A = this chain, B = another copy of it.
Amino acid sequence: MTADPRLPGRLPEPPTRPTLTREYLAVAALALIDAHGLRKFSMRKLGTAVGFDPMAVYRYYVDQEDLFDGVAEALFTEIDVDTLPWDGPWQELARQYCLRLRDILLRHPHAVQVFATRPVRSPASIDTGVKMLAKLHADGILPADALRMVRCLREFTIGHALAIAVTKLGAERRSRKPRPDSPDYNLLAEAADATALDDHFEIGLTAILRGFRHSAD
């Protein structure tokens, strides 16, 4: 006769160790990248950071590429597309979409590369694309034209975020090159002083949208 293996009475909470998930790992990876930069990120560090074996990540992602796809999806999720102004005019919808995407990317400057270097094909992303196209279609824009417009906006937004992130992050690393002696050089210096780094994003957005409107023939 053996003793009852169950301990008597209530025990304090055992240290909970949540089981791993693709999504949890993706979010953790994003946090790690935010904290220490993409350069320093590694699969093993991720495993260790979430309190598991360094190799544990490979149970959920076959590849680093695969993981980064997950990180990009996590970033996309932050857009929270459901709260976009789907009922207003499509121009405003598109503008808000771009603004949110930019804000999110600039909040994760180290991860912008990850987002920018892969086509996000998550169901959520495709769904959003489809809804956006339907919206433009309802305004009489041909799907093909709508797709082109959306692509332009998207590429501008990502290109912008990438440029800003990269410039800010690289600012301290690189040594100031000696300024050339061109007589016009002060034009550049003056202009650079007069404009914030990302002054122009909304201007560009407006220009694209206006340009599209005028090209509707």
Contacts and interface: CB of A to CB of B under 8 A. Distances in A.
A187 interface: yes
If over half of A's interface residues share one DSSP class (helix, strand or loop), that class is named, otherwise mixed; here it is helix
A96 interface: no
| 6 closest A-B pairs by CB | A159-B159, A207-B211, A143-B191, A152-B204, A148-B200, A155-B159
A184 to B, nearest CB: 4
B194 A144 contact: yes
A67 B174 CA distance: 13
Interface in A170-217: 170, 173-174, 177, 180, 182, 184-185, 187-188, 190-192, 194-195, 199-200, 203-204, 206-212, 214-215
A191 B143 CA distance: 5
A154 interface: yes
Nearest to A122: B177
Interface residues of A, number: 64
Interface string A9-23: 000000000000000
A184 B118 contact: no
12 contacts: A117-B162, A130-B184, A133-B184, A143-B194, A147-B195, A148-B199, A148-B203, A148-B204, A149-B200, A151-B204, A152-B207, A156-B159
